[in-house]
Amino acid sequence: MACGIMDILCLIVSFIFPPLGICMMKCCGSVKRSFNFCCHLIINIILMCCAWIPGFIHCCLLLLGCIK
């Protein structure tokens, strides 16, 4: 998988605040369906309430394409 500038920018933003990184993925077209996007955003916000690291890992897995 080739990494573009937007992928790197999403990863940097995800490091700071993972739900914002997921929103950026939606804007650049990495997440296709809106229902899928809403589910991942809600899951990520719940994970962020638990701790920062699970939210970041979930966002990285989305960015790398391990979760569809």
Number of C-beta neighbours around residue 11 at 10 A: 17
Residues 43-68 have pLDDT tens digits of 999 999 998 899 989 888 887 776 66
Q: In the chain, what percentage of residues exceed pLDDT 70? A: 78
pLDDT for the residue numbered 12? 87
pTM assigned to the model: 0.75
d(CA 1, CA 18): 21
